[in-house]
Chain A
Amino acid sequence: KQEVTQIPAALSVPEGENLVLNCSFTDSAIYNLQWFRQDPGKGLTSLLLIQSSQREQTSGRLNASLDKSSGRSTLYIAASQPGDSATYLCAVQNFNKFYFGSGTKLNVKP
């Protein structure tokens, strides 16, 4: 069974700092990997989707990379803002099933 781990579980940084969130998975035979943002008490908002044949995707201040061989993905957030404070989850898709990590709770201090 696919296991997805996100480290750290929580992260607090001052505004303006660049930061990296990590996601690791045990089975490299993935179809794709998706990063989500979740605000307290809300649903998940899709940030970036990386297909298994891709190595990275970018959207604004966000850049996600994928290294299938090592079972790792990173989400890079540039020039963090207080509005970036949320929980960030990664999900990997094996065939038709998605497996989620427990998330990294990010707090960006003004």
Chain B
Amino acid sequence: EAEVAQSPRYKITEKSQAVAFWCDPISGHATLYWYRQILGQGPELLVQFQDESVVDDSQLPKDRFSAERLKGVDSTLKIQPAELGDSAMYLCASQGGVSVSEQYFGPGTRLTVT
């Protein structure tokens, strides 16, 4: 069964350092989402792509966060510089294909900023 891949699974970084996360959606899924989930809360959307175009990045802290999906396939989310408050789970999801409406999530990247 096709899955959304994410790496790394865990990342520990020091405050002010740069960090990057990678996501490979299910093949053929045009829509890709990056979410941030704080412990005990639901995921909150950071950025949404349709193919290589950004559809919604209204909640992305653009002074330190950036995201790209250059060829409309895999995607990278970067934080520079990282802050203590960025410690969270970063989740990638994709949507499309036969079941157009259903979102499929990757395993997530647990970020700890020290």
Contacts and interface: CB of A to CB of B under 8 A. Distances in A.
A63 interface: no
Contacts, number: 57
A45 B108 CA distance: 12
Contacts of B93: 44
A98 B93 CA distance: 11
Contacts of A51: 101
Given A4-B42, A41-B110, A89-B42, A46 B56 contact: no
Contacts of A100: 42-44
Interface in B43-60: 43-45, 48, 50, 55-56
B42 to A, nearest CB: 3
Nearest to A103: B42
A32 B101 contact: yes
Contact of A96 (B6, B48, B99, B104): B48
B35 to A, nearest CB: 8
Contacts of B45: 97-98
Contacts of A36: 105
Interface in A23-59: 31-32, 34, 36, 41-46, 49, 51
A97 B56 contact: yes
A91 B56 CA distance: 17
Contacts of A4: 42
Interface string B84-102: 0000010101000001011
A71 interface: no
Contact of B102 (A42, A46, A96): A46
Contacts of B107: 42-43
Interface of A: 4, 31-32, 34, 36, 41-46, 49, 51, 89, 91, 93, 96-98, 100-103
Given A43-B91, A43-B108, 16 more contacts: A42-B108, A43-B4, A43-B106, A44-B105, A49-B101, A51-B101, A89-B42, A96-B50, A97-B56, A98-B33, A100-B42, A100-B44, A101-B42, A102-B40, A102-B41, A102-B42
